[in-house]
Amino acid sequence: MEPMRSIDELTRRNVAIIAEMERAEANVRTCGERVADRIATWVGSWTFIITQTVILVLWIVLNLMAWMNHWDPYPFILLNLALSFQSAYAAPILMISQNRQAKLSERRNHLDLQINMLAEQETTEILRLLRLLCEHSGLNLSETELVVMSACDTGVGVIRTGEGVYGLRRAFAVAGARTLVLSLWSVGDVAARELMAEFYSRLVHDKIPRAEALRQAMLALKIREPKPWYWGAFVCQGDPGPLCDPVRS
């Protein structure tokens, strides 16, 4: 098999594979699996809940209020026996359907992992090229107050003997940026977006110093996401004070 050359190519291939998997799963299901899926769909619906509730209420009312022919008087031993049989058979049938769906989900997750790994490789290459561009093109950022790079691992570099750590952090610092906000590891898009919204709100509207604005934003996100993985990746390097000029888009 030839290696995938881009995320788009791998995505199209995996989408086609998933569609083929779903068609194959639908066509090769055994009779037992089809019955299990239908039962699982029926049991996991409001129609089943309402229908069973109506039957149970009628059963109890008829046995309590009927003048004669109490086929299942209180404490409803026959009803309890029927519900026990229902539970004894429903649970394994639901597990059959759930196990089949779990196998299909595992295959989908494996294909998604391939896309994520290739995306990370391409992102790393883009960051490497951007670092080289900043170092070799003489980029002048002497009047830049703040550079925010919330992408994955932007604060990580390569150690070179006698030279120190090379990376985007060094490139932008050499170019003249006064303050850098970077991440030390990959953070989810939702968490990064929420943290940056909190950061900019405090930095621009509340006029809080840069480092303190980042610290408060991290504490605000910590309330919603207690695990440090979501909010602890970001660092502020350089001038920690407030912005001299309003942020321009």
Do residues 235 and 184 make contact, with C-beta atoms less than 8 angstroms apart? yes
Can you give the pLDDT at residue 207? Answer: 87
- Sequence-distant (6+) residues with CB within 8 A of 233 are 183, 184, 185, 186, 187
**Which helix (H) or strand (E) is 236 found in, with range?**
strand 234-238
* Residue pLDDT, tens place only, 82-106: 888 888 888 888 888 888 778 777 7
pLDDT band at 130 (very low <50, low <70, confident <90, very high): low
Query: How many Cβ atoms from other residues are within 10 Å of residue 189's Cβ?
Result: 8
Average pLDDT, the chain: 77
DSSP H or E stretch at residue 158? strand 158-160
Q: In whole angstroms, give the CA distance from residue 195 to residue 230.
A: 9
**Per-residue model confidence as pLDDT tens digits over 4-52:** 455 566 667 767 776 776 676 666 677 777 788 888 888 888 888 899 8
For strands 147-149 and 179-183, give the pairing: parallel
CA angle at 180 for the pair 179 and 183, rounded to the nearest 5°: 155
To which residue do tokens 């791998």 refer? 10
Amino acid identity of residue 50, one-letter, is I
How far apart are alpha carbons 105 and 95 in whole angstroms? 15
What are the boundaries of each domain within the chain?
Answer: 7-127, 138-238
Contact residues for 122 (Cβ-Cβ < 8 A; gap 6+):
6, 7
pLDDT digits (tens, 9 = 90+) for 194-243: 888 889 888 888 888 888 999 999 998 888 888 888 888 888 888 888 88
Percentage of the chain surpassing pLDDT 70?
A: 70
Question: Which alpha helices (DSSP H) does the chain contain, by range?
Answer: 7-28, 31-43, 46-65, 77-136, 168-175, 189-200, 210-224, 228-231
Please give the C-alpha separations between residue 72 and each of 52, 54, 67, 85, in angstroms, as whole numbers: 17, 17, 13, 16
Distances in Å between the Cα of 147 and the Cα atoms of 143, 156, 219, 236 are: 11, 15, 21, 10
pTM recorded for the entire structure: 0.42
Give the model's pLDDT for residue 1.
Answer: 39
How far apart CA 191 and CA 174 sit, in angstroms, is: 29
